[in-house]
Structures are given as C-alpha cells and as structure tokens.
Chains A and B, each alone.
Chain A
C-alpha cells in the first residue's frame, strides 16, 4: 500500500485561499475518483471538489471552518500500489477468451 496526498488546487480567477465548509466523506471511506470529496468556500462562491484519486481516506489536513491556501495539503489517501499509476488503468489479470480450436494435420 502507498499513501498519496493532495493539495488544495488552484480554484481559478486568482483566488488564493478557501475555507473548508464540509467534508463529504469520512476517514476510512473508500472513495472513487470524481466522487464529491469536500465543499469549500472562496470569497466568490462555495464549490464542491471531486476526489482526484480512488482510495481510502486516511487523513484530513484541515478541519471544517479552517482556512487553507492554494498548495496547502488537503487530504491523504491510501491506495493499492497497483492503483498508483496516474494515467490509464491496470489490466485485469484474467485469461483471455478463446473460441478458435486447432487441428493438427494428418502427417
């Protein structure tokens, strides 16, 4: 198993900080990539951040109502080593289908 941490991403429009409104997952939850992770509030709006990673949530680095700067560590996941690639998916380790049968020549 490996741990991967993520930082508060750049939320655009030159915003440099955000306040954590509500964690939408709990410590120990298995989350999939893209699932709603946390709601944060900037000076402009409240936004829901999707999870950047599939894995088990092990640490929140901010409590609700804490103010974070872009680049501050937000959350740590525990992931299988095999899920740790960033692009693409791990192929399934299963035997491929076969339909064609062989026949040896007579000689």
Chain B
C-alpha cells in the first residue's frame, strides 16, 4: 500500500528512522516522558505488559512504575483519575484500551475533562491526552472497532486528532501531549504495523518540548495536510482511511483522473481553510470515513464546503462511509468499510454530474 508523502515542511531534523506507527508512538511517549517530569502514562495493561498493541512497551522499565502504571479495569476510574491528576498539576496520558471501552468513561470525559477549564474560569486547565486505539480493520470482536470522532468532536472543550502515518503519529502525539487542552488521540489500529519514515528532531531536542513548540509555530493544532496533489476532485479523509484514499488516487491516475488527497489530521478544530483551499481548486469533493453516515463528520465537512465553496462546486459533495448499523463482526468488516470501488464510484458520480 502507498505510504503518505509528507509535502509540508517540518521542524529541522537530523535523524530519519523507518518505524511502524506503533514504534513511532512508543518513541513519542518516551520522548514526552523524558521532556516533562509531570507526564504520566496509565491504563489497562500499559505497564507490565506494555499495552495490548505494545505501544507502551518498555516504558515502565525506563521510567518506573510511578510514572507508567497499570490501572484496574475501570474506564471511568482511569479518566476520573486523569482529571484529578491534571487538577493537581500533572500531565496525564491515559489509554483506554479500545474505542468501544470509552463508553463507561463518557461521564468523566464529557462532564468533567472537557468542561473543567471553562468551569474554573481557566484556573484548572486539563492537559490530558486520551490515547484511544480506534476504528476497525483488524477482525476484532464487538466493541473493539468503533469510530467515535463525531461524538468527541461535538463536545465543546475537546480537541480530536487522528494520525495517518508513523511520522504523523510521532509529531501529532507529541503536539497533543504538549497542548494545554484535553485531546482525544485516535490511533488507527489497522495501521499500527504499517511502516514509514519518521523525521525525528535533533537528539538534543528529543528530550525537551522545544522541537514540538517550533513545530506548533509552523503547523499549529488544526492544520490539515495535502498528501497528494490533484486537480479533478479532492478525497477528504483521516486516520486509517487516508492510505485507502491514496490507493484510490493511484487507481484513478491509471484512468487519467488526478485526485487530490487531503488528510484532515485534526477533527476538532477542523481545518476549514485547508478544505476550502483544496476544493476551490478541484471543484469536486468526496469525504471518506469509517463511521456511520448519519451525523458523521462527513456531514460537517460537506457543510463547510457548501458554506465556503458553493460557487466553485461542479457537483454535490459525496460521502463514502460506514453504514448506519453497529460495527459488524470481523467476517463482515470488508463489506462495511469504505473500499476502493465504493470510493471510485463516488468519484465517478461527481465527474458525471450535470446541473439539471
């Protein structure tokens, strides 16, 4: 599968390493723990076992069980503790083992974590990064493959982000941890093992937040990324679906159709200007996400395009999404997830459209 080409300038770096996303996330956590003594990692099996996806592998050995520790199987407790620790000045990075396990923690996430800064008139910021292995594609059992971005993006006070490559994973996770607000960090499970080049800061900077701060000045929170340029239509996506869209763009090129691929990265705040810039140019747009259609973020993106690019549009915005059903068991996953043909069909619809 094609890997995302990063077209934006990055913070000056001195080392490039070929890593899986899981390894890139592990390194980002290690560097964040080293950069700030207040950073804490906790969750189910993140300590001794190193996480079910091995993202926290070896961190307890390196930083001790006071900073990287296992919790009971109680998601409400994990997120409640994160809120309390943040109030006391810590920088918690809790993990909820699977997206479907976040439901029992919604009260702590929505009623406490998202609101505390506002409720306390800015005296109790919540620099919490909730790591949430997300989306489907790994043939897992029920409640192990949800797609909850629109739920979180709808809650005022939360930021939401999902990386698409190992390089994005490293930089976005460090950016999320350094951010003063609560961030829901949605890791695409099906891409944990996909490898790519990761551009690391100079070794003198890995153990501080300096490079991340500089990165923030060039690529602030809420910046999307054009991962492939094109002129006939824009595929807009995030997380695991970005590499699917890149594959579709390869197929389209065989037919002489040049698709632009926009990786939104941040789902809150959403990069309306980035969407506008791309769609004003290509004049056609297809939004691709794993979550069900109804009230999914595709509707939000579509509305942004309608508000900002109405006169430029040559066809209605298409949405290629999951269906309005509970996420299916592994055997039916391929029928549920957007695939190349479904996306290509939607592209063709926008190409053929004529005003009536």
List residues of chain A with CB under 8 Å of any chain B CB. Answer: 2, 81-82, 84-91, 93-105
Contacts and interface: CB of A to CB of B under 8 A. Distances in A.
B257 A102 contact: yes
Contacts, number: 76
A105 B354 CA distance: 10
Contacts of B311: none
A102 B347 contact: yes
B351 A87 contact: no
B194 A104 contact: no
Given A81-B20, A84-B54, A95-B1, A100 B140 contact: no
22 contacts: A82-B20, A84-B54, A85-B52, A86-B53, A87-B140, A88-B144, A89-B138, A91-B138, A91-B193, A93-B194, A94-B1, A96-B247, A97-B341, A98-B251, A99-B341, A100-B340, A100-B341, A100-B348, A101-B344, A102-B252, A102-B347, A104-B255
**Which secondary structure dominates where chain A touches chain B?**
loop
Contacts of B339: 96-97
Contact of A98 (B192, B232, B330, B341): B341
Nearest to B256: A104
**How big is the B interface, by class?**
35 or more
Contacts of B348: 100, 102-103
B351 A104 contact: yes
Given A87-B144, A88-B144, A93-B194, A100 B344 contact: yes
A91 B52 contact: no
A4 B130 CA distance: 27
A81 B55 CA distance: 11
A87 B141 contact: yes
